[in-house]
């Protein structure tokens, strides 16, 4: 006797169809799983057996062979408990249903038959929708996560008995169709606001520009100048994620933690310590999982005390910053994780931290300062569009009790700027000014001889690379968008230059 059901496995953040085939025959009682199962899959034999018995069904005392097809892709995780159990009950005649065709099943079983959450549910729901499936049987506790995917009916069940009841057909299945609440989950509450930051008008202006155009930015200054405070509040001026972005971010986080029961709408803010491992930052593992750069997708990645990060980790950021995705290869399989984030870096200007500070003398020699900056990767620094000096506040500014401009007002300007960019790049695969290519840059240069001459003069004076000149033009375009200007003006470029020229080994002469 033979029966099969449809389920999934995960390759990166994408779901791949897996056919769960069950064959029961006479012979010595045996329960075998084939098709490159991992350890967690092999252990499902004990969970499935106990769940079936404790749910009041009979476990067949026969030779049972389960095949997970395609058999040349390794299967890991506890995804297959529910489809294996349902297949065994169906092939042994204990469940009969007319809705097996077009249905997909996923879930981990407890010994008492309860259905536990699994990772990557929203990716699987997308796959069901694209494959033309009708029903998707999922754990009840995380059903809301998948309910925003259109074109499919989510059947949310708490245990194996409820799945059997839903499969009995008629009006029974309608009782278990999950209806979402119409919201995208709760955004995280935060008390961080730009109104708490006293002074630092240039740094706040720079962060507003960076957030508007998704430009990478480095904050440089002595200890206590407010670099970390500013960076932590940058996410508060960014608008909430759109529905499409919510789904992308939730797909990544559902791989990271399986107990997510709603869409994530707050932009991620990741702040890894400088002792983070390579796998923790970039991603990887025997079964590759997303790292901090992917968890920051559509949000912010803040690297505090940048000079303390190991050189190999800094170099590893090169390709993700350029390609906005990271591809990890394991056992002839490639796993792709998106990592389209805005990078904020904070660092002191030297070993003692007071180089260039007017209120305290730096004890580092010029040679030591140059050595300090040589630790920073030149190619990485070249990929950072904006460099801002954050000076220590004078006592008179610190004791002022008046509030600065709040995050709500700044966020409205950022949101308006993002809408302008979205309309400009409507027909292209671009969302922000920081993502534009050389073809667009060339069009801007062709439109104005004054701009070409100004860029040439600036490049020659500051010995900028081609990427440096492009960065200035991208930031200039964002400044123009904030002013709702249709063209880039000379004043916009001059302001952008101030955010490009900062501490670096070339300027230390």
In sign, the C-alpha dihedral spanning 82, 85, 88, 92 is negative
CA distance 274 to 191: 25
82 contacts: CB under 8 Å, gap ≥ 6? 105, 106, 107, 108, 109, 115, 137, 160, 163
Instruction: Name the pairing type of β-strands 103-105 and 108-109.
Output: unpaired
In a domain, 74, yes or no: yes
In sign, the C-alpha dihedral spanning 475, 301, 11, 49 is negative
Q: What is the pLDDT of residue 239?
A: 92
In tens, the pLDDT along 82-94 reads 999 999 999 999 9
Q: What is the pLDDT of residue 375?
A: 78
In a domain, 450, yes or no: no
Bond prior to 70 in cis (omega within 30° of 0): yes
Q: Are both 225 and 95 inside the same structural domain? A: no
CA distance 507 to 501: 9
In a domain, 461, yes or no: no
In tens, the pLDDT along 107-127 reads 999 999 999 999 999 999 999
Q: pTM for this one?
A: 0.89
Q: What is the pLDDT of residue 189?
A: 47
CA distance 65 to 327: 35
* H helical segments located in 116-171: 121-131, 143-146, 160-167
Model confidence at 464, pLDDT cuts 50, 70, 90, reads confident
Q: Are both 159 and 229 inside the same structural domain? A: no
Q: Are both 217 and 293 inside the same structural domain? A: yes
Q: What is the pLDDT of residue 181?
A: 61
Instruction: Give the mean model confidence (pLDDT) for residues 216-222.
Output: 94
Model confidence at 273, pLDDT cuts 50, 70, 90, reads very high
Q: What is the pLDDT of residue 196?
A: 86
In a domain, 188, yes or no: no
Q: Are both 15 and 54 inside the same structural domain? A: yes
Q: What is the mean pLDDT of the chain?
A: 89
CA distance 54 to 64: 19
Q: What percent of the chain shows pLDDT beyond 70? A: 94
- Other beta carbons less than 10 A from residue 6's beta carbon: 21
In tens, the pLDDT along 390-441 reads 988 876 666 666 777 889 999 999 999 999 999 998 888 888 999 988 888 8
Q: What is the pLDDT of residue 502?
A: 60
Domain end residue (candidates: 431, 450, 485): 431
Q: What is the pLDDT of residue 359?
A: 79
Q: Are both 351 and 218 inside the same structural domain? A: yes
Q: What is the pLDDT of residue 370?
A: 87
- Number of domains composing the chain: 2
Q: Are both 42 and 170 inside the same structural domain? A: yes
Q: Are both 241 and 111 inside the same structural domain? A: no
In DSSP notation, 276-319 reads --HHHHHEETTTTEE-HHHHTTTSEEEESSGGGS-HHHHHHTHH
Q: Are both 60 and 144 inside the same structural domain? A: yes
Domain end residue (candidates: 379, 406, 431): 431
Q: What is the pLDDT of residue 429?
A: 82
In a domain, 448, yes or no: no
Instruction: Name the pairing type of β-strands 342-347 and 217-220.
Output: parallel
Q: Are both 148 and 210 inside the same structural domain? A: no
Q: Are both 399 and 263 inside the same structural domain? A: yes
- Selection from 268, 276, 242, 259 nearest residue 338 by Cα: 268
Instruction: Give the mean model confidence (pLDDT) for residues 248-253.
Output: 92
In a domain, 273, yes or no: yes
Contact 221, 392 (CB under 8 A): yes
224 contacts: CB under 8 Å, gap ≥ 6? 392
Give the domain range for residue 207. Answer: 194-431
Q: Is 90 exceeded by the pLDDT of residue 298? A: yes
Q: Are both 113 and 259 inside the same structural domain? A: no
In a domain, 290, yes or no: yes
- The domain that contains 157 carries what CATH number? 3.30.230.10
- The domain that contains 423 carries what CATH number? 3.40.50.300
Instruction: Give the mean model confidence (pLDDT) for residues 32-47.
Output: 93
The DSSP code for 215 is: -
Domain end residue (candidates: 117, 148, 175): 175
In a domain, 502, yes or no: no
The DSSP code for 364 is: S
Instruction: Name the pairing type of β-strands 386-389 and 217-220.
Output: parallel
The DSSP code for 108 is: E
CA distance 49 to 109: 10
Q: Are both 76 and 208 inside the same structural domain? A: no
């Amino acid at each position: 006797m033979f029966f099969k059901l449809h389920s999934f496995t995960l390759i990166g953040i994408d779901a791949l169809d897996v056919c769960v085939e069950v064959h029961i025959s006479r012979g010595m009682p045996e329960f075998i799983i084939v098709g490159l199962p991992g350890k967690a899959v092999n252990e499902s034999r004990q969970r499935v057996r106990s769940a079936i018995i404790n749910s009041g069904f009979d476990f067949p005392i026969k030779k049972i062979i389960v095949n997970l097809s395609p058999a040349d892709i390794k299967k890991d995780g506890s995804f297959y408990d529910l489809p294996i159990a349902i297949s065994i009950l169906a092939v042994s005649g204990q469940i009969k249903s007319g809705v097996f065709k077009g249905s997909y099943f996923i879930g981990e079983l407890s010994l008492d038959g309860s259905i536990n959450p699994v990772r990557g549910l929203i990716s699987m729901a997308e796959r069901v929708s694209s494959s033309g499936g009708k029903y998707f049987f999922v754990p009840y506790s995380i059903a809301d996560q998948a309910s925003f995917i259109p074109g499919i009916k989510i059947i949310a069940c708490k245990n194996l008995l409820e799945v059997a009841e839903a499969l009995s057909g008629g009006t029974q299945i309608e009782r278990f169709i999950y209806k979402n609440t119409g919201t995208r989950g709760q955004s995280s509450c935060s008390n961080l606001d730009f109104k708490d930051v006293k002074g630092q008008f240039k740094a706040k202006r720079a962060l507003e520009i960076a957030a508007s155009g998704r430009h990478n930015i480095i904050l440089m200054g002595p200890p206590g100048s407010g670099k970390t405070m500013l960076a932590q509040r940058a996410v508060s001026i960014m608008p909430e994620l759109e529905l499409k972005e919510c789904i992308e971010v939730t797909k990544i986080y559902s791989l990271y933690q399986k107990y997510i029961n709603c869409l994530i709408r707050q932009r991620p803010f990741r702040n890894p310590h400088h002792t983070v491992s390579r796998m923790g930052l970039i991603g990887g593992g025997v079964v590759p999982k997303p790292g901090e750069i992917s968890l920051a997708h559509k949000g912010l990645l803040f690297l505090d005390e940048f000079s303390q990060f190991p050189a190999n980790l800094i170099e590893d950021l090169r390709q993700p910053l350029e390609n906005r995705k990271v591809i990890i290869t394991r056992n002839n399989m490639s796993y792709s994780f998106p990592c389209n984030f805005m990078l904020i870096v904070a660092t002191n200007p030297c070993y003692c931290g007071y180089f260039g500070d007017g209120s305290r003398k730096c004890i580092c020699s010029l040679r030591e300062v140059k050595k300090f900056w040589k630790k920073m990767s030149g190619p990485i620094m070249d990929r950072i569009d904006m460099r801002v000096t954050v000076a220590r506040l004078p006592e008179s500014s610190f004791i002022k009790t008046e509030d600065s401009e709040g995050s709500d007002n700044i966020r409205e300007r950022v949101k308006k700027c993002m809408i302008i960019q979205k309309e400009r790049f409507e027909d292209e695969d671009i969302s922000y000014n920081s993502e534009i290519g050389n073809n667009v840059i060339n069009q801007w240069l062709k439109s104005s001889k004054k701009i070409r001459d100004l860029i040439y003069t600036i490049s020659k004076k500051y010995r900028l690379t081609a990427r440096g000149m492009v960065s200035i033009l991208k930031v200039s375009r964002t400044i123009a968008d904030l002013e709702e200007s249709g063209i880039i003006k000379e004043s916009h470029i001059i302001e952008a230059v101030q955010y490009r020229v900062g501490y670096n080994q070339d300027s230390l002469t």
